[in-house]
Amino acid sequence: MNMRFELADAKTVGITGHVRPDGDCVGSVMGLYNYIKKNMPNIEVDVYLEQPGKEFYYIKNLDKIKPIADETKEYDVFIVLDCSDIERIKPFAQCFLNAKKTICIDHHASNSNNAFANNNLVMPNSSSSCEVLYGTLEEDEIDKDIAECIYTGIIHDTGVFKYSCTSDITMAIAGKLMAKGIDYSDIIDNSFYKKTYIQNQILGRALLESILFYDKKCIYSAIYKKDMEFYGVDGKQLGGIIEQLRLTEGVEVAIFLYETGMNEFKVSMRSKKYINVSSIAVHFGGGGHVRAAGITMQGTVHDIINNIGAQLELQFSAIDK
């Protein structure tokens, strides 16, 4: 796919990404927005997204994000990034449905049998949607601001170049982006590793209360609404907890849950080497990647861990055979 070709006849373009946008979602959505703004000034472009976390403050034009859809608008092209399921662009789904042409740029394996746009570029072997997006852009039209966005997505979805989704292509692209003059150290520190004092406290608490199960091959921890209220944090500030759980010695699967409503939890799952957490998430109506997936589930923590545990057991016992 070539973005210039796709937008050749477009006068109006809308862009969005998934609910609870992470670094790859913010990076790809804003990377494309800034690319169109800079290189195709005749196109009227709107960007729709849930408010990104404070750690993405350095991304250019973040203040141009519209949090509420203009449902009367009929875009010539509407582009969805980093999203495997139309359900996950819900607040802006009407813009998608109204559009004359729709495009999806993504890298979720769970998107493959679910292609929901007119034109789908889904590359499950790519580290990030930012990596997929990069391949659709002209290298010489990428400036420092656009490079910062794309680099952000790549470091977030690769855990700073260490998850198995990182390839030599990922590294080559990162190198090209570095050559645009970005402050890569600052981007990594400020958007990925930096935690507030409160975030560290709640991380400590989640670790303290974590529980090993299935012969210490799995670990989970949950944060309840009352705790989030006590610390004054929302879901956006709980990033990094799952990552620390995953690093526990001997653990193959980490699960982190936080309460989003009455008997409702946002569940994150990560695996290290062989368990496919995406298929478990898909089984319960969520999605993601083989080593990182998520889902919203109903029930108590006990119910949810029991239900996921049964699926994990199926995979573990198939491997043990």
Q: Which residues bind Mn ion (CB under 5 A)?
A: 24, 82, 129, 157
Nearer to ligand 5GP, 7 or 275 (CB): 275
What are the structure tokens assigned to 52, written together?
A: 């990104």
> How many residues lie near ligand 5GP (CB under 6 A)?
17
Residue holding tokens 């910062």? 148
For position 292 contacting ligand 5GP by CB under 6 A, the verdict is yes
For position 277 contacting ligand 5GP by CB under 6 A, the verdict is no
- CA 223 to CA 32: how far, in whole Å? 35
Indicate which of Mn ion, ligand 5GP, none lies near residue 148 (CB less than 5 to 8 Å, by partner kind): none
Q: Does residue 81 come out as left (phi exceeding 0), alpha (psi in the -120 to 50 range) or beta?
A: beta
Q: Of 164, 180, 81, 152, whose CA–CA distance to 127 is shortest? A: 164
User: Which range, of 45-53, 82-90, 134-142, 210-218, touches ligand 5GP by CB under 6 A?
Assistant: 82-90
Tell the smallest beta-carbon distance from residue 178 to ligand 5GP (Å).
25
Q: Of 127, 228, 140, whose CA–CA distance to 176 is shortest? A: 140
Going 177 to 180 to 186 to 190, the CA torsion angle's sign is negative
**Exposure of 38 in the CB half-sphere (CA atoms within 13 A):** 18
Q: Site residues for ligand 5GP, window 16-55 (CB under 6 A)? A: 18, 22
Indicate which of Mn ion, ligand 5GP, none lies near residue 288 (CB less than 5 to 8 Å, by partner kind): ligand 5GP
For position 288 contacting ligand 5GP by CB under 6 A, the verdict is yes
Nearer to ligand 5GP, 60 or 88 (CB): 88
- Are the C-beta atoms of residues 127 and 158 closer than 8 Å to each other? yes
Nearer to ligand 5GP, 265 or 316 (CB): 265
Nearer to Mn ion, 161 or 213 (CB): 161
Q: Of 63, 71, 58, 60, whose CA–CA distance to 14 is shortest? A: 71
- CA 184 to CA 156: how far, in whole Å? 12
Q: What is the 3-state secondary structure (H, E, C) of 146-161?
A: HHHHHHHHHHHHHCCC
Indicate which of ligand 5GP, Mn ion, none lies near residue 268 (CB less than 5 to 8 Å, by partner kind): ligand 5GP
User: Which range, of 41-49, 68-76, 139-147, 281-289, touches ligand 5GP by CB under 6 A?
Assistant: 281-289
Nearer to Mn ion, 160 or 212 (CB): 160
Tell the smallest beta-carbon distance from residue 157 to ligand 5GP (Å).
7
Q: Does residue 112 come out as left (phi exceeding 0), alpha (psi in the -120 to 50 range) or beta?
A: alpha
16, 34, 84, 210: which one binds ligand 5GP (CB under 6 A): 84
Residues engaged in binding ligand 5GP (CB under 6 A): 18, 22, 84-85, 88, 108, 110, 268, 286-289, 292-296
